[in-house]
Amino acid sequence: MKRLKKILGTSFKVVMFITATILWSIFVYTIGGEWLYFIPLIAGDVLFWETISWQFWKKKKKKAKKKKSEARSWIDAIGFAVIAATILRTFLIEAYTIPTSSMEKSMLIGDFLFVSKTAYGPRVPMTPIAFPLVHHTMPVVGGKSYSESVKLPYHRMKGFGTIERNDCVVFNYPAETLGRPIDKKENYVKRCVGIPGDMIELIAGQLMVNDAPQEEPEGMKKQWGYNISTKGTGLNLDRLYKKYDITEGGYGRNRNEYNLTLTNEGRDALKTFPNVTTIKKHTKEPDVYAEYIFPHDENFKWNADNYGPITIPAAGTTIKLTTENLSIYKDILKRYEGEEMGDNKKFNNIESIISDKGSCDYEFKMNYYWMMGDNRHNSADSRFWGFVPENHIVGKALFVWMSWDTRGTGLNKIRWNRLFRSVK
């Protein structure tokens, strides 16, 4: 009988805790006091796990207390650790790995970053029912790690600041077509070169922001592709790769022609080589249409080196939409401007107004951003898939806590000079 009463008592406590948590969450959401969401975690530890001594200021009574079993202690500790780590990862800081070379040399393949969720404000999970500490796919067994039975609207808690030009930002890939929820889309990291309201243009590879050359932060290292011609013995590529940290490119049509991706420092160094005759940047000609470039409309004869001008939408601003510029904004009108994905009623209505009146004034509801990689000739970025909506922003890249070079051996696999380096 005592055991039954204990089980019923525990069950009642769990039910009451869950009910109170739900009611508390509704209350916090109503008053806008987002950081109060953490109170149930403390209450849960007091009631169930007792991982932390919340009454440390009181003198301990000598009354004998029934000791937990070893198994119960492990279960409580693991349960609390998983919940605490999930909250830490969701609302404070998350680890992220650089998988591609789109940000070289600012960030390298094998860099492990810490990303701040508080820099711009943590985004409340839109798909809250999910396997803890996993992004979108279950480890080992595969398949979705989340359930879409509960979906929450986009809401961002208060942060320490807003996105500024040249911040390195982690975001969910907006052009993903796999049908995953926004917060479960693949994570990307790029440099934010344009904020809401900015006008972006590329002229022969030079990025212009509001009609002025991009102001590059100290420590930023862009890379470009170059055609290099030599005479005589040519270049010792193995030595060149190591000395100037060249990771992309190789021979061209013969032993005296090379296609190398270089930083400005590497380019200037090669210019001093007596056997180097020409160094020419890969730059596409203006007014040459590339179908893979956003907005994928032949009326805009843009390419990766000659692009725009294009204005980044800002919340609350109004734009006159016409048949000429509608292709630039159609994706965000269909997918992010207050409509459920796949519901095109708003866009169809705008098309009808333009057809009847020639134009349609539209006020944007959300802020958007323009992201580009520092490795300009090897980066799939906003030039290819357009604007990044604010509800896709994950956080700000803070610093590299580990950097792993797959080309190294032994302890040389670790790039020691990059450990704990802040992201510029």
In order, the DSSP letters of 82-105 are HHHHHHHHHHTEEEEE--SSTTTT
Task: With cut-offs at 50, 70 and 90, classify the pLDDT of residue 76.
Answer: confident
Output the CA torsion sign for 133, 134, 140, 143.
positive
H or E element, residue 372: strand 368-372
Of the ranges 85-89, 357-361, 414-418, which one carries the lowest mean pLDDT score? 85-89
Provide the mean pLDDT of the chain. Answer: 85
pLDDT, residue 356, reads: 92
User: Mean pLDDT over residues 308-314, rounded?
Assistant: 96
The token pair at 31 is 């008053």
Instruction: Compute the average pLDDT of residues 226-243.
Output: 88
CA distances from 368 to 122, 153, 278, 317 (A): 17, 18, 41, 12
Q: What is this structure's pTM? A: 0.82
Q: How far is CA 285 from CA 290, 341, 342, 376, in A?
A: 11, 37, 37, 16
CA distance 156 to 191: 21
User: CA 204, 208, 213, 219 torsion: positive or negative?
Assistant: negative
Distance between CA atoms of 168 and 115, rounded to whole angstroms?
Answer: 10
pLDDT at 207 over 80: yes
> What gap in Å lies between CA 391 and CA 145, rounded to an integer?
21
Amino acid at position 408, single letter: G
| pLDDT score at 8 | 47
**For the chain, percent of residues with pLDDT exceeding 70:** 84
8 A C-beta contact, residue 422 and residue 399: yes
How far apart CA 113 and CA 259 sit, in angstroms, is 30
Residue 166's pLDDT is 94
Confidence at residue 334, expressed as pLDDT on a 0 to 100 scale: 87
Residue 347 has pLDDT above 70, yes or no: yes
Reported residue count of the chain is 424
Give residue 27's pLDDT: 67
Mean pLDDT across the stretch 314-337?
Answer: 92
- Identify the weakest region by mean pLDDT among 122-136, 169-183, 186-200, 212-226: 212-226
pLDDT in tens, 20-31: 777 766 666 565
**Does the structure show a pLDDT above 80 at 305?**
yes
Domains of the chain (ranges; CATH) run: 2-57+68-91 (no CATH), 92-193+392-424 (2.10.109.10), 224-281 (3.30.70)
Structure tokens at 411: 């302890």
Q: If we measure between CA atoms, which residue out of 172, 112, 115 comes closest to residue 415?
A: 112
pLDDT one-digit tens code per residue, 250-267 = 888 788 899 999 988 899
Find the range with the poorest average confidence among 65-79, 213-227, 375-389: 65-79
Asked if residue 128 lies in contact with residue 150, where contact means CB atoms within 8 angstroms, the answer is: yes
Burial of 261 (0-12, 13-18, 19+ CB in 10 A): buried
Alpha-carbon separation of residue 308 from 290, 312, 346 (angstroms): 13, 11, 26
Strands (E), 5-123: 93-97, 111-116
Residues 265-303 have pLDDT tens digits of: 899 999 999 999 999 998 899 999 999 999 999 999 999
